[in-house]
Structure 1
Amino acid sequence: MKNNQIRLAITGINGRMGKNILKILNKKKTNNILLNGVIEHKDSLKKNNKILYKSNFLDIKSNIIDIIDKFDILIDFTNPCSTIKYINICKKYKKKIIIGTTGFTEQQKLIIKEMSKNIAIILSSNFSLGINILLKILENITEILCKNQQINNLDVDIIEKHHKNKVDSPSGTALSLRNTILQTYKKYNFIKKIKCHSIRAADIYGEHNILFSFIGEQLELIHKASNRIPFAIGAIKAAIWINNKKKGIYNMHDVLGI
């Protein structure tokens, strides 16, 4: 293995995010990134047990131990139970992990935080550049509102839309948006609820709308994703960034430097 080579594995390779990350890796002209292993639930392997990567076929495995010596960084967009299983394996074998899974319980979040004492982890509810810029803008707007004592006369609603098969509601991104506002409120000793509204319909990729309602005026922030490519690009960027990290828990603000 070359010293600067980034050896990746992807879980849920037949899922929406797995397919899009693979699409980007197949197009990306970077010699130091190597996809060495792919994982999928065994029931999915009945339909497809190989994927095309560059000009070669990779066998899809149902057991991560089968490829444990072939990768250094795992990209995981699956479900909370599977992610906790994978992160335990990553800790045991000293692998880094990029987590895009959402819907964790508070106990599962504590497990992830504890694991970060031993391995490097990037945990993010959304890997797109646009959403992470939006989070920063939201922090700044809330700061201005708090300084100007506008909170008592303000209603904040977060409306999020996703495809009908998305399980968690509100979305992880909506919760991140809400938490960004609440953390700024807390800094200025304000306590006020923020309402989240979820829509699950058809094949919507993802839309998040933050509506600030004052008396006589509204301020609206919107992010729309037209496909999953921005999330896939962000996940690969995260994997490159974490390559030289030994341990700790990070997010996309760390990766993007914002």
Structure 2
Amino acid sequence: MKKNQIRLAITGINGRMGKNILKVLNTETINNILLNGVIESKSSLKKKDKILYKSNILNIKSNLIDIIEQFDILIDFTNPKTTLENINICNQYKKKIVIGTTGFTTQQKLIIKKISKNIAVILSSNFSQGINILLKIIENMIKILCQNKQINNVDIDIIEKHHKKKIDFPSGTALSLKEIILQTYKKFNMIKKVTCHSIRAADLYGEHSILFSFIGEQIELIHKASNRIPFAKGAIEAAIWINNKKTGIYNMNDVLGI
């Protein structure tokens, strides 16, 4: 192993995000990154049990323990149950983890936060630069609304669109958008109703819009993803960033420094 090399493992390698992270790793030059292990559920292993990484063939495993000594950082885009199993293993063996799974309950998030006292964790509902910039724009917009009561008479709706196989709704990103709105209002000792609307259709990659409706006019902020590569690149960037952290829970704002 080269000096300062970061050994990665990816769960859900046959899934949408797993395939796109692998594509980025195979097509772009990323210094000090080595994909050293891949995991998939047993049901998916029946369809494909090997992948090509650079010029190497990696065997896909169904148990994280089988590759536990082969990686330093795990990238996990699976489901809440599987992610909790994986983070407990990472905690036991002192491995860092980047989590892109959404749909966690409040209790599950508390478990992740508790584990982050022992290992470094990045938990984000969306790894794209655009969405995380949008979160900051919305925070500043809400501050303007709260500081001027004359223009604060506004209805706020979040509309999110995803592929029909996405299970959780509203999406994790929509909930993050809603949370930043409510938290900002709370800072001004104000309460606001925010309504989320979910659309599940075809193979949509992901679209989020925030509609601010005033009497006689509207402001709409929209983020559209034309493919999953921005999310894959963000997850890899997060893994590189967390390599120097020992403990704590972080998000993409921390990674991007915004």
TM-score range normalised by the length of the shorter chain:
over 0.9
Q: CA deviation at 1:117?
A: 0.2
Describe the SS at the equivalent of 1:166.
Answer: coil
Distance 1:219 1:31 in 2: 42
SS in 1 for 2:149: coil
Partner of residue 138, structure 1: 138
1:195-226: CA deviation from partner (whole Å, max 9, x where unpaired): 00000000000000100011121111000000
1:66-108 CA-partner distances (Å, limit 9, x unpaired):
1000000000000000000000000000000000000000110
* 1:31, distance to aligned residue in structure 2 (A): 4.0
Which residue does 1:33 correspond to in 2?
33
**Structure 2 unpaired stretches of 5+:** none
Cα distance in 2, alignment partners of residues 197 and 30 from structure 1? 38
Runs of 4+ in 1 over 4 A off after TM superposition: none
Change (3 A) 1:216 1:73: same
Whole-angstrom CA distance in 2 between matches of 1:184 and 1:150: 18
1:217 maps to 217
Does the aligned pair in 1 maintain the 2:145–2:152 contact within 8 Å? no
Q: Which moved more, 1:150-159 or 1:236-245?
A: 150-159
Q: CA deviation at 1:32?
A: 0.9
Q: Where in structure 1 are there 5+ consecutive unaligned residues?
A: none
Q: Which whole-Å deviations, capped at 9, do the CAs of 1:46-66 have from their partners, x for residues lacking one?
A: 111000000111000001111
Bigger mean CA deviation after superposition, 66-75 or 145-154: 145-154
Q: Secondary structure at the match of 1:8?
A: strand
Partner of 2:229: 229
Q: CA separation of 1:151/1:183 partners in 2, compared to 1, >3 Å: closer, same or farther?
A: farther
SS of 1:59's equivalent? strand
Q: CA deviation at 1:235?
A: 0.2
**Aligned-partner residue type, residue 110 of structure 2:** L
How many angstroms apart in 2 are the aligned matches of 1:134 and 1:31? 29
Deviation at 1:152, TM superposition (A): 5.2
Q: Is residue 2:97 matched to residue 1:87?
A: no
In the alignment, is the contact (CA less than 8 A) between 1:151 and 1:190 conserved in 2?
no
Q: Does residue 154 of the first structure (1) align with residue 121 of the second (2)?
A: no
Determine the C-alpha separation between the residues in 1 that align with 2:2 and 2:55.
21
More off after superposition, 127-136 vs 25-34: 25-34
User: Residue 249 of structure 2 aligns with which residue?
Assistant: 249
What's the counterpart of residue 238 of structure 1?
238
Cα deviation, residue 2, structure 1:
3.2
Distance in 1 between the 2:116 and 2:93 partners?
13
Q: What is the identity, as a one-letter code, of the residue corresponding to 1:191?
A: I
What amino acid does structure 2 have at the position aligned with 1:112?
A: I
Instruction: Find the aligned partners of 2:150 and 2:141 in 1 and give their Cα distance.
Output: 11
AA of the residue aligned to 2:191: I
State yes or no: 1:108 paired with 2:108. Answer: yes
Report how far residue 143 of structure 1 moved: 0.4
Q: Deviation string for 1:135-172 (max 9, x for gaps)?
A: 00000000000000157511000000000000000000
Q: How many residues align?
A: 258
Displacement of 1:246: 0.2
Give the residue type in structure 1 aligned to 2:251.
N
Cα offset, 1:43, TM superposition? 1.0
- Alignment of structure 1 residues 167-186 onto 2, 5 Å: 167-186=167-186
**2:146 and 2:152 in contact (8 A); partners too:** no
1:14: which partner in 2?
Answer: 14
Task: State the alpha-carbon separation in 1 of the partners of residues 253 and 151 from structure 2.
Answer: 26
Match of 1:57 in 2: 57
Between the aligned partners of 2:23 and 2:171, the Cα distance in structure 1 is 25
CA distance in 1, matches of 2:151, 2:185: 8
Residue 3 of structure 1: how far off its partner (Å): 3.4
The two structures, once aligned, show a CA RMSD in angstroms of 0.9
